[in-house]
Chain A
């Protein structure tokens, strides 16, 4: 019996020790562990960037993935042939130093940068580029390839007829038909060039030519990248380490930022913007909108196979209220699927006004009495970059629909299952969004609404629209292309296959000492130029 008391006593002593340790150290140790600025300021500038985000990457092979969390990281490890200028979707040289298109728009010749090696020592050359393209064309696993270049292998739809190494540092692409967005596609994160020697294990052991290379990946926790000493841009990157840390909860992530545990975060709740702006240690970065949040309706099945019903839903939803309520004003109502910054945006389109009576009339015309129509409205279980509060937005839309006599039952699912259900057309209507990949109108209109496109979740199909979109893909004159897209938007607007909701200007927040960081409209940027000031 005594022994037990001794044990219990020991336990107490141990406990007190723990409490004691942590209490007196909490003041003294603070500077060194939590506020790296304090101590490092005195010696040298901070060279580690900790980026807090909501979820881990799926894999580190960008070619097989479609999620932004993967691209955030792969963008640092790999380079693309052509790159976007910071903060825009204009093109600039990267692994290719120059490019040339033939008159008929079907042949592209790219000159490659000399003296570049992959992180595993394999030389970067035309052979490597060809090997990457052959890999992407080889199987349907390379989702983005199929969606951006039309198809795989020998498919007629695959726009690339052949890719050839015409010299050690020159690659020639022969296309089956002219494709205006071709060069912009090459700048996309999924088409980053990987070392052919490492193809078998890229998902785990990525090898590219980028500014950083993988050091450690603790799943669901952190991905640590270290500087690539042999990076081809002299003297860059400036940072020595980049750490991606998963912090699932938006509020906890902001607390960590305010506390100095991380330096940069995405997924800022719009309602927290004022807090960040009032904190002198923090600053807000806004990402130019290259996105649309929308609500597809399954155009193939009742009740949304009827354009009248779809128009009614378009009239029923109060977008201003959504923006006011859930985006804190950091968004603009969408009347087209294209964001206004993109060439070809048709500003003359008259949006479907928020009009309950009009919606009711249209429903009546379609043959539905109030309360007769009941649908499942699906929503995402977690915030996405284009939609900060999907569950609440769904509730708001549910109320809007109820006002016009449509009963909507809200359903939700985890993200991967959700996407799969969307692809299979198993959800009559749901919330989703799109972040532009390459800043081209084709990437919104054809990708999201072209017949047979993998991301056409509304299963919209209009021959006239398809014809215009394909014609625009082939057009070489920019003004003529823009005109075609404007025409397409008129037809799409009339058919109302989806409800375009908003274009969201998403916010990032970071330490006020963070410099030269420009969020890319495409959603993932590299940290090559990022530095810290004092």
Chain B
């Protein structure tokens, strides 16, 4: 297992290098003079020259790449043009907001989605099965922004149970430590604020989690159906094993590999694709951070944001790969 882990880690290096080259080229692919494009036509000569110097555009391209890589290795993601502050310091609060939201969405999606899929397969062709699968179909087809607005209308406006926007009550802000507010409030021992944070996470978490939830449900159902028909399950049933144990213990383990793959992919999408949810719920996450950067043509920020999301995506895939081996000892590379 350890050897396998190291081999997977080794295989990661070329992927990360390739990714860094692509992201590096984004800014260089701007036609004409990138510095001029970023600053606009009205910018003075001096300002453009300063920016060229700051971005290192006056050097040959391979030197630019190496100094860029050197920066990355030392944790320097560049400097935002709009705020003139280092991106590595700026980016974390946004990333933390998205991670927190994606985590909640993922939990909702996995717990509900996987269980619904299992039960659907277990009681195939029952009313539950049909209902769950119709809901899943609706879930996949539902536009996130519409779902978000409906949630706000129902749970904030009509019922008044949950706040409709943001991560915290702005009138009573949370003192950030890690910027993952669930953790911060617990560290500070402020349970009231913890509840406030959870309440703020609820609606956007559901909005973001609905599509993956539906995907997991469908995926789990089909995967489980296949496994439930296999010989060893029949043997287990013949031995008089309880159905619950058969389904959740014997069948799920074998059915879980494809589900895990989908969970891994969806997790990556949750992190990068939360922009609509973040917009509707005014969630200050990384999607909006990059979106705003695009509006202001803040290329270093766009670059850094894409790099961070892509890296997380790759890391999640690594984790999924490692989990494969944990779930199924036959998997060895």
A204-B83, A248-B279 known; A256-B40 Cβ under 8 A: no
In the complex, identify which listed stretch (B27-35, B130-138, B165-173, B302-310) lies at the interface while the others stay far away.
Answer: B165-173
With a CB–CB cut-off of 8 A, which chain B residues contact A415? 295
Least distance between B108 CB and chain A CB atoms (Å): 8
- What residues of chain B lie closer than 8 Å to A219, measured between beta carbons? 83, 90, 289, 292
Interface flag for A218 (CB, 8 Å): yes
Closest residue on chain A to residue B169 by CB atoms: A33
B54-79 vs A, CB cutoff 8 Å, 1 = contact: the mask equals 00000000000000000000000000
Distance in angstroms from A425 CB to nearest chain B CB is 12
Q: Which of A1-32 contact B (CB under 8 A)?
A: 1, 4-5, 11-12, 15, 18, 21-22, 25-27, 29-30, 32
Residue B153 at the chain A interface, CB threshold 8 Å: yes
Q: A257 to B107, alpha carbons, bound, how many Å? A: 30
Contact of A34 with B by CB under 8 A: yes
| Contacts A21-B198, A219-B83, A261-B165; A255 near B44 (Cβ below 8 A) | no
CB nearest neighbor in B for A258: B157
Known contacts: A245-B170, A249-B279, A259-B160. The answer to whether A218 contacts B44 by CB under 8 A is: no
B210, CB-defined interface residue at 8 Å: no
Q: Which residues of chain A are near B7, meaning CB under 8 Å? A: none
For residue A530, CB closer than 8 A to chain B, the reply is no
- Whether B192 lies near A32 (C-beta < 8 A) is yes
Query: Across the interface, which residues of B come within 8 angstroms of A36, CB to CB?
Result: 171
Q: Does B26 contact A (CB under 8 A)?
A: no
Q: Chain B interface secondary structure, helix, strand, loop or mixed? A: helix
* B119-127, B219-227, B261-269, B280-288 - interface stretch: B280-288
A252 x B165 contact (CB < 8 A): yes
Bound-state CA distance A424–B42 (Å) is 10
Taking a contact as CB atoms under 8 Å apart, the answer to whether A218 and B164 are in contact is no
Interface membership of B12, Cβ < 8 A = no
Q: Are A11 and B156 touching (Cβ within 8 A)?
A: no
List A contacts of B145 (CB < 8 A). Answer: 249
Find out whether the CB atom of A1 lies under 8 angstroms from the CB atom of B253.
Answer: yes
How many residues in B have their beta carbons less than 8 Å from beta carbons of A? Answer: 53
CB–CB A11/B111 < 8 A: yes
What residues of chain B lie closer than 8 Å to A248, measured between beta carbons? 279, 282
Q: In the complex, are the beta carbons of B192 and A256 less than 8 A apart?
A: no
User: Residues 487-510 of chain A: 1 if any B CB is under 8 Å from the residue's CB, otherwise 0?
Assistant: 000000000000000000000000
Q: B160 — which chain A residues lie within 8 A by C-beta?
A: 30, 34, 259
On A, residues with C-beta under 8 Å from B are 1, 4-5, 11-12, 15, 18, 21-22, 25-27, 29-30, 32-34, 36, 48, 50, 56, 58, 139-140, 204, 218-222, 224, 243, 245-249, 251-253, 255-256, 258-259, 261, 414-417, 420, 424
27 residue pairs A–B, Cβ–Cβ below 8 Å = A1-B253, A15-B108, A18-B107, A21-B198, A22-B195, A22-B202, A25-B198, A29-B196, A33-B192, A58-B296, A139-B44, A219-B289, A219-B292, A220-B284, A224-B173, A249-B149, A252-B281, A255-B152, A255-B156, A256-B163, A256-B165, A258-B156, A258-B157, A261-B165, A261-B169, A415-B295, A420-B41
